[in-house]
Chains A and B, each alone.
Chain A
Amino acid sequence: MDSVFIDGLSFALPLFIMAIGGIYCERSGVTMLAVEGLQGFGAFFGALIAFILQRSMSGASMVPFYVAILVAAVGGAIFSLIHVALCLKFKADQVISGVVVNILAIAITGYLTKMINRVVFGATSDKFVLNVSTRFTIPVISEIPVIGAIFKNIYPFEVIIIAVAFLAWYVMYKTPFGMHLRACGDNPHAMAAVGGDVLKIQRRAIMICGALSGIGGMCFAYSISANFSTNIYVGYGYLAIAALIFGNWKIMPTFGACLLFGFARSGGYKAVAMLQMPSSYQDLVMTLPYIVTLLLLIFFSKNNHAPKSLGVVYSKESR
């Protein structure tokens, strides 16, 4: 039973942080389909640095891990500049821009991983193998039956994500910047009329999205495979987008959606293992989160609506 909580959380939280990034971007009025590419590029950047640090440090050191998360955020933010340039500067279609970022991220990270391995490390490999992240258990609370499992075998990144998520929530709903950002998504011209710089706010929103996606990607690289390769592009970025739309572009409901994905997934795996079904049944169980989502959406999406100016290219003259 414990593993359902442990695995569920370690899947839901990286997804959540990516979804928050998407919320920032879309609430500012810019369509965000590039989460998949941004998380991959962030993970690549973080994994590369961690891989270099690992070689000069002892295996048990957690320094590469923390540096990797930070660098992944920077990497994601840098790569998101493509989206910034295309959407804001060149007024490109935001959907095509998202697709471009994804295509480029897969190609560039795949190519660079191979080349860096060959040229710098003299190895023919298409991945950076990472040290396995340590986990910790909080004493006392983890002894509580059932719920205690939440505090068992925690990845350090889960704590980081919760902290960052809280900060992101605070900024979005309790600060002027967050309010301006949301105003941009609903009525950018009103925002401009009261003296706000719409493009500047949108630029920041996209870069925040890049940074948060990068963190999410790095966490997936640590938790799922303990390496970086192009196998990281399995569509979790798109899943994060689904989660944020499911959550009606709001942070707390989106958290619920991510938990649903996480627990349905880990619960399904557990069920297959417990019933001793052949492993091919795992595939069948894996559909659970998505079927449940569709069913829930049937009941809960009546009042769903996207930010009013989502995807509308903003320019001053179009008033």
Chain B
Amino acid sequence: MNSKIKKFLKPLMIPVAAVLIALVVGAIIIALTGSNPIKAYVSLLQGNGIIPKKSYANFKGQITDFMKFIDYVTPMIFAALAVCVALRCGLFNIGVSGQMLISGFTATVLVGYSNMSAVPAKILVVLISILVGALAGSMIGFLKFKFNINEVVSTIMFNYIFQYVISFLINTYYVDPVSRQSKMISTASRLTLVDMKIGGYKIDIPLGIILALLAVVFVSILLNKTKLGYELKAVGYSRNAAYYAGINVGKSMVVAMVISGALAGLAGATLYLGYVGSIQPKVLADTGYTAIAVSLLGNNNPYGIVFSSMLISIIENGGTYMKSSAGVETEIASVITGIILIFSASNAFVKHWLAQKNANRLLKQEKKEVQ
């Protein structure tokens, strides 16, 4: 094999193997629950429009499901990027869900309920969510650097505070009496163009995905090609070493949290003002917690995150269709997610094991040569 291709493929070998093994284990579990695993996996792909279903309702087609899936992935990519940027700087942003909520809510109230026309409304939604997310993130960074408040505690506290205050505001001012959620936002402000009729199909067009892919490139360049990114990573590797190298550790941490918060804000905008269109009071989106796993599954690499987001989303989003078509309970989808994470988390062990095997082989060879 060409050595260049080999070099590119080698780091992918273990994660891909981990996912494949996990899928086999998942299949065994599905079989144990009395369903057909192949049918279940096929239905996961069908539910996301990756392969066609047998039949479709009027105006619906494979493309409808696929675009819905892309719409579902978008917030996940942003949220995982948010976790990734903070983590590379050694900070654990467990508050992505809260930052998503406050940004989504602010944008909903300021723009979603206004009569603005489509173009300025959508631009404003994006800007406001970035700004609010960045502010929320900067608070965490500031408390950490100024008062030594552990970011895990402060983010959990803010998660609760945002959740309850926003629940109060929604229930008092913005509630839809029928759905018990916040009122739907205006079509003009929504980042997903809902039910567009194209070629005889009704399709949701998620505009956020373009931003998400741009964000992936941005984070990748930031981390790998800029001085700022280098400093963030240095702080992440060793705070003391970075300090002695003359890096402003406090500044780096605040900046990392600002970027992380801004990305979380975009996740909130694409979820609440894109995929859903309203906010359920007193509920934090799972996205922020799943994103931790997604980011780690993607090896904290922006491009890796695109794939891990899609993989996890296929399973989580396809769960409903898997239940209706293959009779597998939706919880099993989460179990498969968990198993994938288990196998990919054991990467280090496999690498270690392979290295040891290699070393033993070399040792034996040496012994033979001596003899």
- Beyond the given A93-B296, A96-B297, A284-B165, please list 13 additional residue pairs across the A-B interface where CB-CB is below 8 A: A93-B348, A99-B292, A99-B296, A100-B342, A103-B293, A107-B331, A235-B156, A238-B159, A239-B160, A241-B156, A297-B143, A302-B148, A304-B148
Which residues 242-298 of B sit at the A interface, judged by CB distance below 8 A? 281-282, 284, 289-290, 292-293, 296-297
Contact (Cβ within 8 A) A301 B148:
yes
* Contact A304/B150 with A86-B346, A287-B161 known, Cβ cut-off 8 Å: yes
* Contact A96/B296 with A114-B329, A302-B148 known, Cβ cut-off 8 Å: yes
Looking at the complex, which of A56-64, A128-136, A161-169, A288-296 is the stretch in contact with chain B? A288-296
Contact (Cβ within 8 A) A103 B149:
no
* Contact A291/B161 with A95-B92, A280-B171, A283-B167 known, Cβ cut-off 8 Å: yes
Which residues 2-60 of A sit at the B interface, judged by CB distance below 8 A? 33
Interface size class of B (residues with CB under 8 A): 35 or more
A266 at the interface (CB under 8 A from B): no
Specify which chain B residues have a CB less than 8 angstroms from the CB of A245 in the assembled complex.
150, 152-153
**Cβ of A127 to closest chain B Cβ, rounded Å:** 14
Output the residue of A82, A108, A306 with the most chain B CB within 10 A: A108
| A235–B97 CA distance with the chains assembled, in angstroms | 12
Specify which chain B residues have a CB less than 8 angstroms from the CB of A86 in the assembled complex.
342, 345-346
Contact (Cβ within 8 A) B165 A283:
yes
Specify which chain A residues have a CB less than 8 angstroms from the CB of B361 in the assembled complex.
none
Contact (Cβ within 8 A) B345 A294:
no
* Contact A106/B168 with A90-B348, A293-B153 known, Cβ cut-off 8 Å: no
A233-266 interface code vs B (CB 8 A; 1 in, 0 out)? 0010011011001100000000000000000000
* Contact A298/B342 with A111-B335, A287-B165 known, Cβ cut-off 8 Å: no
Specify which chain B residues have a CB less than 8 angstroms from the CB of A96 in the assembled complex.
292-293, 296-297, 341, 345
| A280–B160 CA distance with the chains assembled, in angstroms | 16
B154 at the interface (CB under 8 A from A): yes
Contact (Cβ within 8 A) A107 B341:
no
B349 at the interface (CB under 8 A from A): yes
**Cβ of B332 to closest chain A Cβ, rounded Å:** 7
| A99–B342 CA distance with the chains assembled, in angstroms | 10
B172 at the interface (CB under 8 A from A): yes
**Cβ of A240 to closest chain B Cβ, rounded Å:** 10
Contact (Cβ within 8 A) B153 A242:
yes
Contact (Cβ within 8 A) B293 A92:
no
Contact (Cβ within 8 A) B156 A238:
yes
A313 at the interface (CB under 8 A from B): yes
Pick 23 A–B contacts, CB within 8 A, sort by A.
A33-B94, A90-B345, A92-B342, A92-B349, A93-B296, A95-B292, A99-B289, A99-B296, A100-B342, A103-B337, A107-B333, A107-B338, A110-B331, A111-B335, A114-B331, A241-B152, A241-B156, A242-B152, A283-B282, A287-B165, A290-B161, A291-B161, A293-B157
B237 at the interface (CB under 8 A from A): no
Number of A-B contacts (CB under 8 A): 146
A259-286 interface code vs B (CB 8 A; 1 in, 0 out)? 0000000000000000000001101101
Specify which chain B residues have a CB less than 8 angstroms from the CB of A115 in the assembled complex.
33, 329
| A284–B154 CA distance with the chains assembled, in angstroms | 18
**Cβ of A181 to closest chain B Cβ, rounded Å:** 21
A89 at the interface (CB under 8 A from B): yes
B334 at the interface (CB under 8 A from A): yes
Which residues 275-334 of B sit at the A interface, judged by CB distance below 8 A? 281-282, 284, 289-290, 292-293, 296-297, 329, 331-334
Contact (Cβ within 8 A) A111 B296:
no
B180 at the interface (CB under 8 A from A): no
Contact (Cβ within 8 A) A111 B332:
yes
Output the residue of B150, B153, B164, B346 with the most chain A CB within 10 A: B153
**Cβ of A16 to closest chain B Cβ, rounded Å:** 16
Contact (Cβ within 8 A) A111 B329:
yes
A91 at the interface (CB under 8 A from B): yes
B8 at the interface (CB under 8 A from A): no
Total interface residues on A, CB under 8 Å, equals 48
Output the residue of A82, A90, A114, A304 with the most chain B CB within 10 A: A90
Specify which chain B residues have a CB less than 8 angstroms from the CB of A102 in the assembled complex.
289
A104 at the interface (CB under 8 A from B): yes
| A107–B316 CA distance with the chains assembled, in angstroms | 12
Specify which chain A residues have a CB less than 8 angstroms from the CB of B335 in the assembled complex.
104, 107-108, 111
| A281–B172 CA distance with the chains assembled, in angstroms | 9
Contact of B94 among A89, A90, A238 (CB under 8 A): A238
Specify which chain B residues have a CB less than 8 angstroms from the CB of A280 in the assembled complex.
168, 171-172
B352 at the interface (CB under 8 A from A): yes
B147 at the interface (CB under 8 A from A): yes
Contact (Cβ within 8 A) A297 B147:
yes
A202 at the interface (CB under 8 A from B): no
Contact of B157 among A93, A108, A290 (CB under 8 A): A290
Q: Nearest CB to that of B334 among chain A residues?
A: A107
Contact (Cβ within 8 A) A91 B157:
no
Q: Give me the 5 closest cross-chain CB pairs, A-B, nearest first.
A: A107-B334, A111-B331, A92-B345, A283-B168, A90-B346
Specify which chain B residues have a CB less than 8 angstroms from the CB of A227 in the assembled complex.
none
| A302–B133 CA distance with the chains assembled, in angstroms | 26
Contact (Cβ within 8 A) B164 A287:
yes
